[in-house]
Amino acid sequence: MIAFSKISAEITSQPMFEILSEVQKIERSGLQVLHFELGEPDFPTPENIKHAARQAITDNFTKYAPSSGLHEFKEVVQEATFQSRGFKPNLNQVLVTPGANAIIYLALKCVLDVGDEVIVPDPGFPTYFSAIKSLGGTIRPLNLNEKTQFSFTIADLEKLINKKTKAIIVNTPSNPTGQTLSADILHQLYEMANKNNILLISDEIYSRLIFEDESFYSPSQCDNCQSNTLILNGFSKAFSMTGWRLGVAVGPEPLIKIMENLTSTIVSCVPPFIQKAGIEAIIGDQSTVKTMVSTYHKRAQLIVDGLNSIQGIECIMPKGSIYAFPNITGTGFSSDEFCQMILHKCNIAATPGNCFGNNGEGYVRFSTVNNEAVIQLAISRLQTLFGKK
């Protein structure tokens, strides 16, 4: 039998997909499960985007593309960054990747040596944790809690920084909490990263999914992504393009160049017809996207109101994203126990909060990717199981 490297033992999958596999076994037995576990938009990809891809294939955009991305796509990203964040990166600051997830690994690979540390939000996106471990890095959790709406103070952050700290990851709006970080906190965070020569990775995958009356701020506005800040973004959530695998990084030129070299080595390039679809996503009709955001907002309110009507459950309203993150400690069950119970007694699939770090224990993530009828059915089943307030 072949021998595997020690570091391979640290490579893990996303827990949500493990849950999906369990759920699919139940469904194969003939039962219908209500899916709230994956962050997968239920909307189809908008027709104008699909049409742009088909046209690009017809026009023979089916060959290799530059590893950094098509020039015309990067120009569109450049202009979109100016419109949304107030600065225009040069094209050498832009990298097109096969999905936003890849950016996490590529960026950390460029700055981490074995034993180096990365500060990550806890609760936070599981890929942060697995990517750090797979590179031999050490996770330094930035503890977030519901009392502060899952934010933090700079004093909290400063305690975690030492000579081994090479990167800080922030995510606003957050997966799994749906909460946002203020401009003041993000500005102070940038100053701290800059002072200590630390890479600040700003995961902005949900930046277009901000609810009405809420605002979005990017720490990239502090340095125009020229010194310490890297924007991580993609098309999966806002444009319902999860299967297309299209991401974009904007960052300092020296970092982007090394990430480009890694992209060339690992995947060569992102298919050009997919990038052509990405152009249409950004510059084309945005009415479908606006409708999706409005719908997610309404669904989030419906889920939050419904969960808050159930004995032992408390849930604060998210400010964006496609998630609600209720506190279930009042039920007397752990996150795992709660999710197993509702799966087998209610046929409802959700993700235990501890999948997102130790501070996620006592919480459960529900995705807002079901229509109102499915949400109401799920709430009704949970009310029957746990009782109404």
**Stretch 342-361: mean pLDDT:** 97
pLDDT of residue 17: 79
Evaluate if residue 13 carries a pLDDT over 80: no
**What is the SS3 assignment for 92?**
helix
pLDDT in tens, 327-340: 999 999 999 999 99
Spans of all domains in the chain:
6-44+287-386, 48-283
**What tokens were used for 41?**
């938009």
Backbone φ and ψ of 289, nearest 5°: -65, -45
Say which amino acid occupies 186: L
pLDDT of residue 24: 86
In the chain, beta strands by DSSP E: 34-35, 94-97, 117-122, 138-143, 165-171, 199-203, 229-234, 247-250, 323-324, 348-349, 351-352, 364-367
pLDDT of residue 188: 97
Q: Do the beta carbons of residue 200 and residue 193 sit within 8 Å?
A: yes
Cis peptide before 352, with omega less than 30 degrees from 0? no
pLDDT of residue 40: 93
Winning range, highest mean pLDDT, from 8-12, 15-19, 80-84:
80-84
Backbone φ and ψ of 48, nearest 5°: -65, -30
In the CATH scheme, what architecture does the domain 48-283 have? 3-Layer(aba) Sandwich (3.40)
More confident site: 140 or 4? 140
pLDDT of residue 27: 87
pLDDT of residue 182: 95
Single out the residue of 371, 374, 369 nearest to residue 209, CA to CA: 369
Single out the residue of 229, 276, 216, 269 nearest to residue 93, CA to CA: 229
How many C-alpha atoms does 142 have within 13 Å on its Cβ side?
27
Q: Do the beta carbons of residue 303 and residue 368 sit within 8 Å?
A: yes
User: How many whole angstroms separate alpha carbon 8 and alpha carbon 375?
Assistant: 40
Mean pLDDT of the chain: 96
**What is the SS3 assignment for 281?**
helix
pLDDT in tens, 240-280: 999 999 999 999 999 999 999 999 999 999 999 999 999 99
Indicate the fold that domain 6-44+287-386 takes in CATH.
Aspartate Aminotransferase, domain 1 (3.90.1150)
Evaluate if residue 384 carries a pLDDT over 80: yes
Residue 240 CA to its chain's centroid (Å)? 13
**Stretch 32-53: mean pLDDT:** 96
Is this prediction's pTM over 0.85? yes
